[in-house]
Amino acid sequence: MKDMTLGQKIREIRLHLQMTQKELAGDFITRNMLSQIENDQATPSMKTMEYLAKQLGKSVGYFMDENHKDLSLSNIIVELMALNEAKDYVASVKLIEQQSIHNPIVMRSKMMMDLYMNSYMYLGNQYMTEGDNEKAKAAYEKILKYENELLLESDIYLYKVYAQLAEVCGYLLDIELAKTYHKKSKDLVNKILASREVQTMYLKLIEADYDGIIEDSSKVDVIDYDNYSLARYNRVLGSAFLNKGEYEKAIVYLEKAIEIYSDETCYTIVSMIYEELSKCYFELGDYKKAYDFLQKAQSKKIAH
């Protein structure tokens, strides 16, 4: 199995044990997620890998990529897990820093990233408990090395980092920096809440609950929405008015959505909004605009 990928190893052992994907996934992950992992379309988190290894009767190290023996990635991860289990976070981050300098390729591993962040988080918490706020601040700030990745993958975890930094900077009487991190944590919470609100509206769109969408829109405060959530909000609300036959209102929100969306990265959504605008203008009898937006929708599809 040495030359197999992580996903192939998991699938091979599962089949050998005559387990179905549903049996292996259990209640811990979805069967769809397990399928993605086995097909190397998704990388399991450390907790997921620990669960799968236990279910398959193997150690986590057994599944690690050992194509580069000189890096000994599996040994490093096993050692780091042992250090975290023993709550020796100082030794854990020391080992991580050594590897990131001498073997930077190991940091491409999702498990190493998880261990890196968790080790510094626990170390920061430990220092705060001991009252060593300077060291706590330094530990938390180490996590921000991967701030952009966390924004995309784990905004709730990043919120915890910001909140801890705001608190520790307050203890250090660095008021301006405390305010900065407090604002970042507050902005992130608003983004998370906005995303959930819009997602609820989107689900109602799928269920054709257009009145529910319009009612929800009157209860939310879009001032704190990030651009992505604001674009989705306007698009969903515009679609609701379109389906209710209130075409002029639909146009207002759909055109707002178009202004926010990036044509380069959201071309499919933009094409759909153009089609909806075309329907609105057609129903209002403005056939020239209806044709223009239909052409825009078609050109967007052809271009991509």
Interval 7-18: pLDDT, tens: 888 999 999 999
Q: 107 lies in a domain?
A: no
Q: 216 lies in a domain?
A: yes
Q: 210 lies in a domain?
A: yes
Q: What is the mean pLDDT of the chain?
A: 84
Which residue among 61, 82, 101 closes a domain?
61
Q: Report the number of distinct structural domains present in the chain.
A: 2
52-79 core/surface letters (b: 16 or more CB in 10 A; e: else): bbebbeeebbebbbbeeeebbbbebbbe
The confidence score (pLDDT) of residue 299 equals 79
pLDDT tens, position by position, 120-174 = 999 999 999 999 999 999 999 999 988 877 765 667 788 899 999 999 999 999 9
Alpha-carbon distance values, 177 to 81, 84, 123, 126, 171 (Å): 33, 30, 21, 21, 11
The dihedral formed by the CA atoms of 73, 74, 75 and 79, expressed in degrees to the nearest 10: 100
8-state DSSP, 64: S
Contact 28, 34 (CB under 8 A): no
pTM of the model: 0.49
Structure tokens at 268: 């499919």
Which residue among 14, 32, 61 closes a domain?
61
Residue 298's CATH number: 1.25.40.10
Domain that holds residue 264: 192-303
8-state DSSP, 145: G
Q: 160 lies in a domain?
A: no
Lowest mean pLDDT among 73-87, 102-116, 215-229: 102-116
Alpha-carbon distance values, 35 to 11, 19, 21, 38, 169 (Å): 9, 13, 7, 5, 44
Beta-carbon contacts of 232 under 8 Å, excluding residues fewer than 6 positions away, are 198, 202, 257
Q: 112 lies in a domain?
A: no
Q: Which residues of the chain form beta strands (DSSP E)?
A: none
Residue 194 to residue 304: CA distance in whole angstroms: 30
Q: Is the pLDDT of residue 300 over 70?
A: no
Residue 41's CATH number: 1.10.260.40
pLDDT tens, position by position, 25-35 = 998 999 888 98
Q: Is the pLDDT of residue 178 over 90?
A: yes
Compute φ and ψ for 272, nearest 5 degrees: -65, -40
Q: 276 lies in a domain?
A: yes
Q: 228 lies in a domain?
A: yes
Handedness of CA 194, 198, 201, 207 (dihedral sign): negative
Residue 267 to residue 130: CA distance in whole angstroms: 52
Which residue among 61, 90, 109 closes a domain?
61
Residue 47 to residue 118: CA distance in whole angstroms: 12
Structure tokens at 284: 């209002």
Cα–chain center distance at 226: 15
Q: 36 lies in a domain?
A: yes
